[in-house]
C-alpha cells in the first residue's frame, strides 16, 4: 500500500494557476512533514525562472531542465524551513507531449535534491525515519494528477503509487515548540591547518557541538516526558482553524556536563594559530501536525532546528564573505562582521511560520523580494518578525612572530581558561533562563 499525502486545499488552486500559464513545463518543490502514518503538504513552490528570455524560447524538451538550478533552489528553501518541515518532493506541470518523459525527469530531480540537502546536514536520519519522497506530475491540458514516491535511501528504488488528497484547513492544524539555546562553542584553529580554513574548521566544531545537542535533556513546559507518550497528554486539545488556536510548548534545553564513562576522552595540547568562539543564544522553533504527535517526534524536530539554524547562518556568513572579499582571502587580520539575524514570517492562513536570515543593513524590501523569488509568497513589512538582536563576528589570529614555545604556552593557558569559562557557562545554562540575544564571535587565543 502506497503513502497518502494530505494536501492543503489552497495548493490545488496554486497548481491550477501555474498549469494555466505553463510554457511548456514548470517544476517546483513540495514542502511539508513526514510521519509514520501519513504525510502533510502545506506549500508548493515553483522553481524561480533563471532567465525569462531563455525560458520563453527554450525548446519543449525535458532534457533542458537545469538540474543544478533546481537543487540550488531546494537548498535555499530548506534554510527557510523551521524544525519539522522539509522538502517532501518535487512537482512538474507539463504539456501532454512531454508527459511520457515526466516521471524519469522527476525521479532524477528527487535524488539530486535529496543529495544536495543531505550534504549540508549535520545530523543523520533515524533508522525508522520515512525516506520516501513524492514525485507529482500534472498534465497541463487534462489536469490529470499522478503522484508516486521513491525511496531516496535506495538508489535503485522504483516508483510506488501514492494518494494525493486535498484537505481544508490543514495548515492550521499544527503544534508549535520553541526554545532559546545558549551557545558557547570554542573551535581552535590548528597551526597545521592549511590556509587557516575558517569554514572547514567551523563545520568540524559544529559537528562536535551537534552531538551534544543530540544528547541534551529537553524539558517541555518544565517537564521531562517519555519519548513514546503523546505530546498533548494531560492537555486539552485546541479546536478551531485559526492561528489563535495554535498550541505552543515552551522548551528548555539542558546540555549534559559529560557524556558518561562510555565516552571518555583524553585532553590534548595543540599549537593553534587562533580560535573561533561562537557565543550567545539562538531562537529555535519547530512544528508538529496535530494528529497524536509523540514527544520523540517533537523533540527530534526541535533538535534539528537548533542544529540547522546555527549551521545555516555560519554558511550564509561565509558565502557573504566570499562575495565581498573573494574566495582566496589570505590575511586574516582582526575583523568584525555582523551575523545574520533570524526572522519569522507567517504562512498565509496558517499557524506555521517560515524562517529567514537578514544582515543588519538589509531593508525589509530585500527580505520581501527574497520571499517572492524563493517561496513565491508576497510578504507585508509588518509581517516580518525579527527574533534576535544584532550579532557580531570577531576574527583574530595569533600574530605570526610568536615563537613555537610561546605559542605552546599561550595555547595551554588559553585551553585552561576556556575550560573554566565553558564549565561555568554550561552549569549556568542548566539553571538559568536562557538569554534572548544571539551573538556569534571569533576570538584569538
Output the 3-class SS for 215-277: CCEEEECCECCCCCCECCCCCCCCCCCCHHHCEEEEEEEECCCCCCHHHCCCCCCCCEEEEEE
Is the pLDDT at 344 greater than 50, yes or no?
yes
Going by C-alpha positions, the residue among 69, 21, 14 that lies closest to residue 374 is 69
Q: What is the pLDDT of residue 427?
A: 34
Cis, peptide link before residue 177, omega less than 30° from 0: no
Mean pLDDT, rounded, for 173-184: 89
Q: Which residue has the higher pLDDT, 292 or 162?
A: 162
Is residue 125 over pLDDT 70?
yes
Beta carbons within 8 Å of 213's beta carbon, 6+ residues apart: 181, 253, 255, 303, 306, 307
Give CA 31 to chain center in angstroms. Answer: 12
pLDDT value at residue 134? 96
Tell me the torsion sign for CA atoms 310, 316, 318, 324: negative
Q: Do residues 159 and 89 touch, judged by C-beta distance below 8 A?
A: no
- Rounded to the nearest integer, the mean pLDDT of the chain is 80
pLDDT of residue 1: 61
43: which 3 cell numbers?
506549500
The helix/strand/coil state of 289 is strand
What does the block give as the cell for 88? 517532501
Answer yes or no: CATH 3.40.140.10 is held by domain 4-168.
yes
Q: What is the pLDDT of residue 144?
A: 92
Residues in contact with 95: Cβ distance below 8 Å, sequence separation at least 6, in sequence order: 22, 24, 25, 60, 139, 140, 141
Point out which residues pair with 181 in neighbouring strands.
282
Cβ contact 283:340 at 8 Å: no
The mean pLDDT value for 172-181 works out to 90
For the chain, what's the residue count?
445
For residue 4, pLDDT over 70 is answered with yes
Show me where the domains of the chain are located: 4-168, 175-431
Give the number of other Cβ atoms within 10 Å of residue 239's Cβ.
7
Range in 33-37, 170-174, 271-275, 322-326 the model is least confident about: 322-326
- Number of Cβ atoms within 10 Å of the Cβ of 80: 21
Q: Report which of residues 77 and 103 the model is more confident about.
A: 77
Name the strand (E) or helix (H) holding 78: helix 67-79
- The answer to whether 83 and 293 are in contact (CB under 8 A) is no
* pLDDT confidence band for 357 (50 / 70 / 90): very high
pLDDT of residue 193: 64
What does the alpha-carbon distance between residue 324 and residue 217 come to, in Å, rounded to a whole number? 40
Say if CB 27 and CB 113 are below 8 A apart. Answer: no
Four-residue CA torsion sign, 205, 207, 212, 217: positive
Determine the pLDDT at residue 404.
46
pLDDT at 398 over 70: no
* 366: Cβ contacts below 8 Å, ≥ 6 apart: 358
Integer Cα distance of 334 and 442 in angstroms: 9
Q: Of the ranges 75-79, 290-294, 321-325, which is most confident?
A: 75-79
- Three-state DSSP string of 406-425: HHHHHHHHHHHHHHHHHHHH
Residues 6+ apart with CB under 8 A from 38: 3, 4, 5, 6, 291
Percentage of residues in the chain with pLDDT exceeding 90? 44
- The three three-digit cell numbers of residue 73, written as one number: 533552489
- Tell me, what's the pLDDT at 337? 62
Residue 394 has what pLDDT?
A: 56
At 211-264, the pLDDT tens digits run: 999 999 999 999 999 998 988 876 655 554 444 456 889 999 998 765 554 556
Q: What is the largest CA-CA distance in the chain?
A: 77
- Which residues, at least 6 apart from 352, have a Cβ–Cβ distance to it below 8 Å? 42, 82, 85, 171, 174, 176, 287, 346
Residue ranges of alpha helices (H) inside 100-232 are 102-120, 198-214
Tell me the C-alpha distance between 193 and 175, whole Å: 45
On whether the CB atoms of residues 174 and 288 are closer than 8 A, the answer is: yes
Amino acid at each position: 500500500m502506497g503513502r497518502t499525502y494530505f494536501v492543503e486545499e489552497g495548493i490545488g488552486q496554486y497548481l491550477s494557476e501555474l498549469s494555466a500559464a505553463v510554457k511548456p513545463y514548470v517544476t517546483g518543490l513540495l514542502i511539508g512533514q513526514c510521519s509514520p502514518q501519513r504525510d502533510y503538504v502545506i506549500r508548493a513552490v515553483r522553481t524561480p525562472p533563471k532567465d525569462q528570455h531563455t525560458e520563453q524560447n527554450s525548446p519543449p524538451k525535458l532534457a533542458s531542465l537545469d538540474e543544478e538550478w533546481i537543487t540550488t533552489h531546494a537548498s535555499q528553501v530548506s534554510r527557510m524551513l523551521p524544525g519539522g518541515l522539509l522538502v517532501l518532493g518535487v512537482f512538474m506541470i507539463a504539456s501532454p507531449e512531454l508527459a511520457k518523459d515526466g516521471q524519469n525527469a522527476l525521479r532524477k530531480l528527487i535524488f539530486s535534491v535529496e543529495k544536495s540537502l543531505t550534504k549540508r546536514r549535520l545530523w543523520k536520519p533515524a533508522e525508522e525515519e520515512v525516506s520516501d519522497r513524492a514525485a507529482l506530475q500534472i498534465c497541463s491540458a487534462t489536469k490529470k494528477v499522478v503522484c508516486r514516491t521513491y525511496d531516496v535511501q535506495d538508489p535503485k528504488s522504483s516508483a510506488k503509487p501514492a494518494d494525493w488528497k486535498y484537505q481544508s484547513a490543514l495548515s492550521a492544524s499544527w503544534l508549535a515548540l520553541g526554545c532559546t539555546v545558549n551557545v558557547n562553542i570554542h573551535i581552535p584553529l590548528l597551526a597545521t591547518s592549511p590556509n587557516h580554513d575558517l569554514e572547514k574548521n567551523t563545520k568540524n566544531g559544529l559537528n562536535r557541538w551537534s552531538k551534544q545537542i543530540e544528547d541534551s535533556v529537553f524539558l517541555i513546559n518544565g517537564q521531562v516526558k517519555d519519548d513514546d507518550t503523546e505530546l498533548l497528554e494531560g492537555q486539552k486539545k485546541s479546536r478551531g482553524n485559526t492561528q489563535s488556536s495554535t498550541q505552543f510548548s515552551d522548551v528548555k534545553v539542558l546540555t549534559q556536563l559529560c557524556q558518561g564513562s562510555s565516552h571518555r576522552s583524553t585532553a590534548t595540547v595543540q599549537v593553534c594559530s587562533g580560535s573561533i568562539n561562537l557565543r550567545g543564544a539562538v531562537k529555535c522553533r519547530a512544528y508538529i501536525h496535530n494528529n497524536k504527535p509523540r514527544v520523540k517526534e517533537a523533540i527530534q524536530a526541535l533538535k534539528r532546528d537548533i542544529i540547522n539554524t546555527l549551521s545555516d547562518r555560519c554558511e550564509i556568513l561565509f558565502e557573504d564573505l566570499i562575495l565581498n572579499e573573494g574566495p582566496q582571502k589570505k590575511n586574516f587580520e582582526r575583523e568584525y562582521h555582523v551575523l545574520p539575524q533570524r526572522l519569522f514570517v507567517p504562512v498565509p492562513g496558517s499557524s506555521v511560520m517560515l524562517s529567514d536570515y537578514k544582515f543588519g543593513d538589509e531593508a525589509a524590501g530585500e527580505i520581501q523580494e527574497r520571499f517572492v523569488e524563493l517561496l513565491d509568497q508576497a510578504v507585508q513589512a509588518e509581517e516580518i518578525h525579527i527574533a534576535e538582536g544584532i550579532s557580531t563576528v570577531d576574527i583574530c589570529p595569533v600574530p605570526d612572530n610568536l615563537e613555537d614555545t610561546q605559542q605552546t604556552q599561550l595555547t595551554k593557558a588559553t585551553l585552561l581558561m576556556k575550560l573554566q569559562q565553558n564549565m561555568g557557562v554550561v552549569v549556568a545554562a542548566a539553571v538559568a533562563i536562557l538569554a534572548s540575544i544571539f551573538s556569534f564571535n571569533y576570538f584569538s587565543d
